[in-house]
Amino acid sequence: MQNIQIEDRHITLITPSAPVATPTHGGRAKCLQRLVRLDLPVPCTVALSFDIVLQIARGTLPDIPAILSHFDPGTLLCIRPSSEDPDWGGPGAVLNIGMNTARHAELCETLGNEAATSLYLRFIQAYAIHVARLDPDTFDGIADNGALSLTEALDAYEEEAEEPFPQDLGRQLADVLTSMARAWEGTTARLLRQAKGAPVDAGLGLVVQAMKLGLGTGECGSGVLQLVDSDTGLPQITGRYLSQSQGRDALEGDAASLFLERDPRGPSLEELAPEAFRDLKIHAALMRRRLRAEMQIEFTIENGHVHILDGVRVRRSARAALRIAVCLVEDGIITPQEAVMRVEPRALSELLHRQVSEDAPRDVIGRGMPASPGAATGKIVFSAAEAQSSAARGDACVLVRRETSPEDIRGMHAASAVLTERGGMTSHAAVIGRGLGLPCVVGAARMKFHLRRKQIVTEDGRVFREGDVITVDGTNGEVLSGAPEMVEATLDDSFQTLMAWADAERDIGIRANADTPADAQTAHNFAAEGIGLCRTEHMFFEADRLTVMREMIFADATEDRRAALDQLLPMQRADFTELFTIMQGKPVCIRLFDPPLHEFLPTDRAGLRDLAEALALPVSDVTRRVEAMGEYNPMLGMRGVRLGITVPEIYDMQARAIFEATIDASRNGDPVVPEVMIPLVSTQREVEIVRARVDAVAAAVRAERGVNFTYRLGVMVETPRACLRADEIAQHAHFLSFGTNDLTQMTYGLSRDDAGRFMSDYVQQGVFPEDPFHLLDVDGVGELLRIAVERARRASPDITVSICGEHGGNPESIRFCRNAGFDYVSCSPFRVPVARLAVAQLALRDKMR
């Protein structure tokens, strides 16, 4: 440690007018100044700036006498951290600085031996462990039992530290400041705070405060108090008080008297010190009003008088945060806009889904990607069929698969949760799970999935069999054994109120990706402004349709194919009519058929036999045809618009179903303007060809029905080439919607279904900052999006631009889309509220700027 003392302009006594600010001295220092301005009984406090603390960490001592000059001689001091954001953490507070043998003797006179010795002992131990960095075992076996233990503790210190316990206040203060400043600069602390969003150069301030011991002859003690319940956000005075009059145990925290739930072991604070309790309530209400937040007060009571040591924002659950924000507006304390800014969009998903209770013990048996939030418990099943039987018996089940495919949809509907060995954030299970609001963990590759033996084996060798109960926590990607306690989803009036305020600020649209009437209803309930992506292929997996679909796929002649499609037409028409009706005239964007046809064909022997029977063909024939349709790289093969060009009857049927449903739904309800979207486009010619056929179908339906209608035709931009040629493509489209799942896959050359196997290694080693299927890669994929929007708008200024890949529900990715000039984002129905709030916050932030 150098002896050069740095100038003391960064050592500031906190007074109402002192130059103290959060960006230079931290939130705690600023808050204490606000309390001083409110004339609250705050003990003398000195703030040290970020700059001076950094200098201390680097070895330059501050002017210790200058700090001490603000305190009465003999005052004990405490030091607390004061970072810019309390969530960034900081070193623990160190109390009772100044305790030494002489001070101990004095306090024995005024407070009694027991209290004085206990204070000194606690300081020696805290100093030894946190400042001198001695082994905590040094004090093993030394009980807090008076003078004897004090001598033992001082001896143990001297032996271990090879010097006597420091008696000089200046030395103690300098050492504590140095150890706290250096703790902030340590690697672990740095990484932890950066994970919570702190910048690399985040500073630490320190506050040095006169101790109010809460010790004396009248009613004395210390505690915390707040005016709301941290879990619900409902008004309720709550806190904890350790009364000295309750004996030594109370000082150690064993005999706390609760304010409201009376502690059977002792009286409440209200009974012990009615005036102090009244003052505390008045102080807390004043802080709430003037600091414009629900605060927890830390206080001591000395001989019946209250001292306010600190105020921090109350710890709050997502549900409480929302209710607190709304209540503060209703009480005229903050504006609706401020309330909108105060709720973390992601925290909303906690409200929208059941969660494992924070207090529940967690027996973690595996981990994967948190693909769809919420938690659910059920018995393990290993196939979609078993999931359906289980649901029919009324048994909750967890569907465990290596990975899911469209054939599993009905099983997923029946299951309470899904767990897969493979897959990433945009794998089939993840996308469908989010769409259904079904908790889902994917890519749990460290567990062994023995599907034949119907077992999963955990990394530590535990075996879970069919029928065993597990819990899937899709919020954090954990798989738990058994059925921990859950907290139910809660959507109350506060939620609706806050969302209405958010919508008033929002400046781009939010739609939902919805494939089924149930999805559409959820989207409508969450006030989505339309459907941005309806993946029609899911509709063909219903039992009655699959066989017809397979007949269509097997048809050799166009007429046979048409005949099969004619059977599917009324079913599709009914699907679309229902969607249009639920959405009540809001736009519905229907994507034409996208997946490779062989996804609809059976893969196992039994399935092949059934199909042979249905088609009256030999099994060998069916097997050969199925094998012939296999592709080496199906995601880059015969799918999307390529099917539309080569097997155009499918799109003809879908277009007809859409237009007939438009007429039917408009007849009985709000007028419908459907949107028809072509997937996997890479050239303008593809759009021209499909558009000509869709136009022809529209003309035919108009003529047959004698009813006019309009529709919008759009292109799903999900290949890099479509981005680069967006100007040409835009000339044939009313809208472009970016399918960033496939676009990410193709930009990186990264399989969305297989990347889960190595994604965590990639992220851990910093190869990718995040899973690009989860968080939009703004540098690479984002550049393609920017190029595409700019070229498309140049060619067609009024074209509508949106995103419908999974990134559309991610707040950071939404920021990118809004900055790039998108008209709306579309995401899974359960993420619609998150997106609404995220956009409102972005708009408000821009306004503030």
Distance CA 679, CA 650 (A): 13
| In the complex, least distance from residue 410 CB atom to ligand PEP, rounded to whole angstroms | 19
Nearer Cβ to ligand PEP, position 337 or 747? Answer: 747
**Residue 14 C-beta: closest distance to ligand PEP, Å:** 54
- Closest CB to Mg ion among 373 and 739? 739
Residue 805 within binding range of ligand PEP, rule CB under 6 A? yes
Partner whose footprint covers residue 535, from Mg ion, ligand PEP, none (CB < 5 to 8 Å by kind): ligand PEP
Q: E-assigned strands of 11-138?
A: 11-13, 45-48, 77-83, 94-97
- Cβ neighbour number for residue 208 with a 10 Å cutoff: 24
Residue 410's φ and ψ, nearest 5 degrees, are -65, -35
Question: What mask, x for binding ligand PEP by CB under 6 A, covers residues 426 to 455?
Answer: -----x------------------------
Parallel, antiparallel, or unpaired for β 463-465 and 235-243? Answer: unpaired
**Cα–Cα distance between 481 and 357 in angstroms, integer?**
15
Task: Give the CB-side neighbour count of residue 751, counting CA atoms within 13 A.
Answer: 13
Q: Tokens in use for 720?
A: 């890099």
SS3 440: strand
154 HSE (CA, 13 A, CB side) = 15
Q: Which residues are within 8 A (CB) of 360 and not within 5 positions of it... i.e. 6 or more apart?
A: 484, 485, 486
- CB under 5 to 8 A by kind: which of Mg ion, ligand PEP, none does 804 bind? ligand PEP
Note the residues at the interface with Mg ion (CB under 5 A). 718, 739, 742
Q: Output the smallest distance, CB 29 to ligand PEP, in A.
A: 48
Block residue for tokens 């924000």:
325
Of residues 711-750, which lie at the interface with ligand PEP (CB under 6 A)? 718, 739-742
Question: What are the structure tokens assigned to 777, written together?
Answer: 């890669």
Among 11, 325, 804, 840, binds ligand PEP (CB under 6 A): 804
Of 722, 832, 848, 705, which Cα lies nearest the Cα of 352?
832
- Choose the contact partner of 537 out of ligand PEP, Mg ion, none; CB within 5 to 8 A by kind: none
- Cβ 637 to ligand PEP shortest distance, Å: 14
Q: Using the minimum distance from each CB to ligand PEP, give the nearer residue, 741 or 813.
A: 741
Nearer to ligand PEP among residue 533 and residue 672 (C-beta): 533
Beta-carbon contacts of 811 under 8 Å, excluding residues fewer than 6 positions away, are 345, 346, 834, 835, 838
Q: What does residue 319 show for φ and ψ, rounded to 5 degrees?
A: -65, -45
Do residues 272 and 191 make contact, with C-beta atoms less than 8 angstroms apart? no
Cβ proximity to ligand PEP: between 326 and 425 the closer is 425
Among 25, 353, 428, 598, the one annotated catalytic: 428
| Options 534, 589, 723, 804, the catalytic residue | 804
Pick 79 or 677: Cβ nearer Mg ion: 677
Beta pairing class for 440-442 and 417-420: parallel
The interface partner of residue 215, options being ligand PEP, Mg ion, none and the CB cut-off 5 to 8 Å by kind, is none
Compute the half-sphere exposure of residue 280: CA atoms within 13 Å on the CB side of its CA: 34
Query: Is 428 considered catalytic here?
Result: yes
- Quick one: what does residue 805 bind among Mg ion, ligand PEP, none, with the CB cut-off 5 to 8 Å set by partner type? ligand PEP
Least distance (Å) from ligand PEP to the CB of residue 6? 56
CA distance 773 to 750: 10
> What single-letter amino acid sits at 486?
M
122-161: contacts with ligand PEP (CB under 6 A): none
For residues 434 and 835, what is the distance between their CA atoms, to the nearest angstrom? 14
Which partner, ligand PEP, Mg ion, none, binds residue 717 by CB below 5 to 8 Å per kind?
Answer: none
Q: In sequence order, what are the residues at sequence separation of 6 or more whose Cβ sits closer than 8 angstroms to the Cβ of residue 793? A: 730, 799, 801, 821
Going from the C-alpha of 603 to that of each of 9, 109, 411, 595, 630, the distances in angstroms are: 77, 87, 17, 16, 11
Measured from the CB atom, the residue of 594 and 599 that comes closer to ligand PEP is 594
Q: Least Å distance between CB 539 and ligand PEP?
A: 13
| Catalytic site includes residue 804 | yes
Least Cβ distance, residue 430 to ligand PEP (angstroms): 10
Site for ligand PEP in 547-606 (CB under 6 A): 594
3-state secondary structure (DSSP) of residue 300 = strand
Q: CB-wise, 318 or 716, nearer to ligand PEP?
A: 716
Q: Shortest Cβ distance from residue 693 to Mg ion (Å)?
A: 21
Q: Which residues bind ligand PEP (CB under 6 A)?
A: 431, 533, 535, 594, 718, 739-742, 804-805
What are the catalytic residues?
A: 428, 804
